[in-house]
Amino acid sequence: MRFSKAFLLRSVAAAVLLAAGTVAAPSLYAEELSKTDFVLGTVCTIRLIDGGTNATLGEVFSRLRNIENHMSVNKDDSEISRVNAMAGKEPVHVSEDTFYVVSKALEYARLTNGAFDPSVGPLVKLWNIGNGDEKVPPEKEILAAKALVDWRQVVLAANTRKVFLKKPGMRLDLGAIAKGYAADEVEKILADHKVKAAIVDLGGNIFVFGGKKDKSPWRVGIQNPESARGEYLGIVTGGQMTVVTSGVYERYFFENGKRYHHILSTQTGFPVDNGLVSVSIVSKSSIDADALSTSLFILGIEKGMEFLRQFPDTYAVFIDKDNKVYLSPGAGKVFTLQDKDYQLAEK
């Protein structure tokens, strides 16, 4: 699962959940219950601010573990791993969870003309960014992996819930969408347990649930791409919402003085190089926010802005390598730039 960078603020000056959930400040709520665990390939923290019990937390983490067991490419016995192992051989029956997320990922692939592509697995495995022994692969290997990436070769059978990859060697990777689905599933559990306010941090994918007792809005800080983890350049303010960021600083390595990040282009086989350093999405739907953060990063500012018009009440904050911040229409209602080293720009 990939990492994203957003963190929660209880006041403009205090970062409570730092990027990727690695550090948390002491609770400001006497009745708060919280739990942190490693799941979905990252550190996840759930904070029940108003309502809920330890049983609620237990159910949430059980659900997260269940989703991981179905969709992680790092588990040999997961459903996605079985689908990949049977590529070119036979369809694999999967759970409702996996079938829905694969279907949703393919929908984004269709809408973006393949910019977002869940069959990117061969390239992800080849580059292996984030595992400590990365290097730029030989061009021949990149071309071979790229030839296996084609969302149109993923076949779904809704009546039997089976997934089939037509070509041997194809690999699905749901890392750009699965955590969003997980956050939406957590939302259902919180609602079922009558929780009134909660903070969900799935490795930096932030979802703020309900409303605080004092009626003040939530504040979620967007990571400064050039600063230490937890330093924010701006604040998103509002009610219940999710904030997800994709950026070049999440996972990367250097070779010959050049940074290679983990967001790969299915067109070139290399990390996307379009001048952007991060894209943050503000939305009500976590699965959409997760997929959109990657989609818009790959599409770039102009195409990304145009693509986002299909999603009402969803906003984007683009940051480029020149420290310019571009806001999608309406984003200025929820986002406030704080860092003077950055400047708002118009597109």
* DSSP-assigned letter for residue 264: B
Q: How far apart are CA 68 and CA 40, in angstroms?
A: 5
Lowest mean pLDDT among 94-98, 210-214, 230-234, 273-277: 230-234
Q: What is the pLDDT of residue 258?
A: 85
Do 6-69+181-339 and 72-165 come out as alike in CATH topology?
no
Question: What digits encode the pLDDT tens for the residues 144-179?
Answer: 999 999 999 999 999 999 999 999 999 999 999 999
Q: Which residues pair with 205 in a beta bridge?
A: 202
Q: What pLDDT was estimated at residue 24?
A: 32
Q: What are phi and psi of 327, to 5 degrees?
A: -110, 135
Give pLDDT tens digits for 320-335: 999 999 999 999 999 9
Determine what percent of the chain is predicted with pLDDT higher than 90: 80
DSSP state of 24: B
In the chain, domain spans: 6-69+181-339, 72-165
| CA 323/CA 244 separation, integer angstroms | 19
- For residue 245, what are the CA distances in angstroms to 20, 134, 136, 169? 11, 23, 25, 30
Half-sphere exposure (Cβ direction) of 263: Cα atoms closer than 13 Å: 29
Q: Regarding the domain delimited by 6-69+181-339, which CATH topology (the fold level of the hierarchy) does it fall under?
A: T-fold (3.10.520)
Question: What is the spatial distance between Cα 36 and Cα 60, in angstroms, rounded to a whole number?
Answer: 11
CATH 1.10.3980.10 fits 72-165, yes or no: yes
Report the pLDDT averaged over residues 241-262.
87
For 117-130, the pLDDT digits (tens) are 999 999 999 998 88
